[in-house]
Amino acid sequence: MRGVPVVVGYALRESLRRRVFLVVLVLTAAFVALYWLGAQKAFEAVDESEPPPAAALAGIDTRTLTGATLFGLSMFGTLFLGVVLAAFLTLSVVRGDAERGLLQPLVVRPIGRAALLVGRFLAAAAVCTVYVLAVYGANLAITWSTGSWRPDRIVEPALELTAAVAVIAALSLLGSVVLSATANGIAVFMVFGAGLVAGLLGQIGEVLESDTLRDVAEVTSWVLPFEALYQDGLNAITADTSGFTEFALQLGPFGGAQPGGPFLWPWTVAYLLLVGVAALAAFARKDL
Amino acid sequence: MEEGELVGLLGPNGAGKSTLVKIGCGLVRASAGEAYVCGARAGSAEARAAMGYLAELFRFPGWTTADELLELHQRLAGSAGGAEERAELLELVGLEDARRRRVEAMSKGMQQRLGIAQALVGTPRFLFLDEPTSALDPGGRRTVRGLLEELRRGGVAVLLNSHLLSEVELVCDRVAILSRGSIVAEGRPSELARPRGVEVDVDGGTRLFAGAGREEAPRIVAGLVASGEQVYGVRVLETTLEEIYLEAVGDDTA
């Protein structure tokens, strides 16, 4: 594994020099600017207008309702952009690069295939972690500066978003061993979409008290823990909110998230290891 | 293969030349048998540390410069050669002026030269070169031929996979002709060649003594002189590598 730092350095330089990184930066700037505009206008509306009579009567905190909904939206956007970045950094690492002739000169060097794959994962995870934390931090600052609202938990959701993106990077690396770049990209985004849909079904199941929908969401969360991490992060931003405000949040698209429970982090670590072992085993046997 | 030996691997498309090279490099697992490189099992870290490889269909990241690419491979190979080794290698392949040029700005021929320099990083004892001159112009091919001869003098063994028979004939000590996964002819080009006849220029034109070999040439010339012919030139004809090749592969020319 002495070659891991060399591969990490190579992959980091590749990440920063490829044009796709510039595209991601431009799109991120557009996303953050859009979020700033939305937050500005939303909190202006909260400040300038009276809350609806029913909301006032129920004691719903409209600032919290607005802030949590906006921040939940920003978390979804951050997760999505992080997933896009993770997928682009990893989707062609093995088969895609081998088909283009980029991989063979590296693999024949004495560092070994395992070091190559581990180095690629660490580099992708590092880039995505920095990226997700930067976007998360920017949105946090915008929400605070425009509406004087901040989430009940700050660090926990940030870490969970980065872990969720790392899970996607690991799945994408595993997919890259067996699938071509295009097929892997499609597969990664379909898995991501399936996880989100299952999470939404779980939220609907909570409101409707449907055991079937809740079971679907729970099983999916174990199979695709990035969804459980995202849900737990969403739940954490209003962890101390209660009463009718909490109830109103649960009715919204980002408010009904469920906590992941004490096994979420251990399972995430075990899941990353399992996916890593599967990827290494498949790569070790792959003819190039 | 011996130290400093240059062996040419010939064969039609699909004969198994690239597969054999890939087995040697550890890129493909052998379905049967065993392969060793410099005494170590092919594909092992020891074997990979002792060899260099230029793939037939290779590509380097377009965002790297020539110097950065060689530096990366130095690190991957554990070479302590530093900037001096990189400069030497670039000079060896005629890219000393392209040190800071990005790969994406290089012609295919320049990239192939860079590929050869990359294969030489870490002073390998064994080189696998899969079609190393396919994108080179005649000048570039001559440079590579000179380089191969220099490597031979330095004791580096080279397995050269090429479709260019003339090139193989010029530089290789031995050739192995593959067909459908098996070696169908193997030896020094001079050993594989068969006499085709002796051609003699005389007053009346050129006379061919079909089937005669080199050792018969003096007797033929002496006979002609004795019979009053003026002899202006003598050529011993042998089968070319192309003829040997076509005969060996038979109808396997897909």
CA pair distance A184, A88, nearest whole angstrom: 10
The full set of domain ranges for chain A reads 4-284
Contact status of B55 with chain A (Cβ, < 8 Å): yes
DSSP letter string, B78-145? T---HHHHHHHHHHHTT-GGGTT-BGGGS-HHHHHHHHHHHHTTT--SEEEEESTTTT--HHHHHHHH
Domain boundary among B189, B215, B247: B189
Mutate to test the interface with A, among B72, B79, B103, B134 (most CBs of A within 10 A): B72
Q: Same domain, yes or no, for B159 and B80? A: yes
Q: Sign of torsion, CA A15 A16 A19 A23?
A: positive
Q: Same domain, yes or no, for B154 and B218? A: no
Q: Same domain, yes or no, for B178 and B217? A: no
Q: Mind listing the pLDDT tens digit for each residue in A70-107?
A: 999 999 999 999 999 999 999 999 999 999 999 999 99
B162 belongs to a structural domain: yes
- Averaged pLDDT score across all residues of chain A: 88
Q: Are A203 and A230 in contact (CB under 8 A)?
A: no
Q: Are B58 and A101 in contact (CB under 8 A)?
A: yes
CB–CB contact B57 A107 (8 Å)? no
Residue A24: its pLDDT value, please? 85
Contact status of B49 with chain A (Cβ, < 8 Å): yes
Closest C-alpha to A132, from A168, A184, A173, A100:
A168
Domain that holds residue B210: 195-238
Q: What number is the average pLDDT over the span B65-90?
A: 93
Q: Is the pLDDT of residue A138 over 80?
A: yes
Q: Same domain, yes or no, for B60 and B137? A: yes
Contact status of B108 with chain A (Cβ, < 8 Å): no
What are residue B6's phi and psi, to 5 degrees? -115, 110
Q: Mind listing the pLDDT tens digit for each residue in A180-211?
A: 999 999 999 999 999 988 888 887 887 788 88
Alpha helix segments (H runs only) across A148-263: 155-178, 181-208, 211-223, 225-237, 243-251
Domain boundary among B189, B214, B249: B189
Q: Mind listing the pLDDT tens digit for each residue in B27-49?
A: 999 999 999 999 999 999 999 99
Q: Is the pLDDT of residue A48 over 90?
A: no
Q: Which helix (H) or strand (E) holds A66?
A: helix A62-90
ipTM over 0.85? The verdict is no
Q: How confident is the model at residue A248 (pLDDT cuts 50, 70, 90)?
A: low
B253 belongs to a structural domain: no
DSSP secondary structure code for residue A33 in this structure: H
SS3 of residue B24 by DSSP: helix
Distances (CA, A) of B119 to A109, B7, B47: 10, 17, 14
Q: Is the pLDDT of residue A245 over 80?
A: no
* Number of domains composing chain B: 2
Residue A118: its pLDDT value, please? 94
Q: What number is the average pLDDT over the span B233-250?
A: 85
Contact status of B78 with chain A (Cβ, < 8 Å): yes
Distances (CA, A) of A205 to A75, A218, B52, B208: 22, 11, 60, 97
CATH number for the domain that contains residue B176: 3.40.50.300
Q: Same domain, yes or no, for B146 and B55? A: yes
Contact status of A18 with chain B (Cβ, < 8 Å): yes
How do beta strands B205-210 and B195-202 pair?
A: antiparallel
CA pair distance B22, B34, nearest whole angstrom: 13
Q: Same domain, yes or no, for B167 and B221? A: no
B179 belongs to a structural domain: yes
Residue A206: its pLDDT value, please? 77
Return the structure tokens found at A231. Answer: 């849900």
Q: Is the pLDDT of residue A2 over 90?
A: no
Using a CB-CB cut-off of 8 Å, the residues of chain A touching B118 are 105
Residue of A nearest to B48 (CA): A110
B251 belongs to a structural domain: no
Q: Same domain, yes or no, for B35 and B126? A: yes
Residue A17: its pLDDT value, please? 83
